[in-house]
Structure 1
Amino acid sequence: MLKDYNSNTCDEIIFSSFFKNHAKSLRNFLYYKFGNMEQAEDLTQEAFIKLWQNCASVPIEKAKSYLYTIANNSSLNEIKHKKVVLEYEKQNTGLDKTNENPEYILEEKQFKNKLLKAIEDLNETQRVAFLMHRIDGKKYSEIALELNISVKAVEKRIHLALVTLKKTIDLK
C-alpha cells in the first residue's frame, strides 16, 4: 500500500505506457501551436525528458498536466527567442548587405573601375551618346533630337562605343 502512495512515474513500464498514450497528442498540440512538425517533435521529446528527470516528484496522476505545462512553457520560450532573433536581424540588416565572399567583391570593384576607365577613354561623341542611352535611358530618337544628328548617327556612335568597350574590357 505504501508503494501506491509514492510516485510510480519512475517505473519504466508505466512511463513507457504513459509516453505511448500521450506523445502523439502532445506533439499534435505543439504542431498546431507552431505549424512546424520538427519543432513540435523536438519539444515533445524535451518535455518527456524533463518529466523523466523529475519523475520522483511528479505523480502519474499529475504527469499529463505537468507535461503540457512544460511543453507550453518551452513553446513560449521558443517564440520569445525567435522574436529576439528577428529584432536583432532587423536592427543589424544595414551592417552587411551582401554575403558575397571578399574575392568576388574585389573582382567586382576592379571590373567597375575598369569599365569606368574604358568609358572615360571613349571619344566624346561616342561617350555622350552611350551615356545618354544607358544612364539616362533615352531613346535613340530623343538623343538624335538633343544632339541635332540623325538616328542612324546615334546608332553608329553607340555601336562603336560598345565595340570599343568590349575590346578594352576583354569581354567575349
Structure 2
Amino acid sequence: MPKSLHPDICDKLRFSKLYEKYAQTLSNILLYKYGDILNPSDKVQEAFIKLWENCTKVKPEAVKTYLYTTANNMMLNEVKHQNVKFKYQQIKPKDYTNESPEFVMRKKEFSNRFEQVLSKLKEEERVAFLMSKVDGKTHKEIAETLGITKKVAEHRIYAAMKYLKNNLEELNKK
C-alpha cells in the first residue's frame, strides 16, 4: 500500500474536507438501512466526533471504513436500545388530520404495502434504489459510494424497480 502523504487527519481543514465528503452520504445510507426514527444524522455526527478524538490513530486511507463502521455500530446499538424501550412504553399516534378518512386509509395502506415490499428487497438493492430515487444520485456516484462498478449499481436499481413494479399494482398505472 502506498505511503500516505499526511501522517494523520488532525488538521482542521483536512478534517472538514472529510466531513464534507462523507457526512451526507453516510447519513443517507444509515437512513435507508435503519429509518429516520433512529436519527441517523446524529450517529454520523457522533462518528465524526469519535474520529476527531482518535484522529492520530486512524490512518487517512482508513477514514471511510472507520466512519462507516462506527456509525453503523452506533445505529445497531440504538436499535437494541429502542427494542428495550418499546417493551416498556407505548407510543400514542396522533389522532387528528385534515385529510379525508378514506384518503388517510388508502395512503396508510399503500405506505404499509410499499414499506413491506421495499423491506423484502435485498439490502444492497434497496440502498442503491433509494440513493438513486430519493437522493437523485447518478449510477456512477452510487457505484463510487458503495465501492461497486457502475454496471452493478445499474443492475441493483433495475432489479429493485422491477420487483417493486411486480409487487405494487399502483406503480404499473400510467
- Structure showing greater Rg: 1
Structure with the greater relative contact order (CA < 8 A, sep ≥ 6): 1 or 2?
2
Greater helix share, structure number: 1
Report TM bin, short chain: 0.3 to 0.5
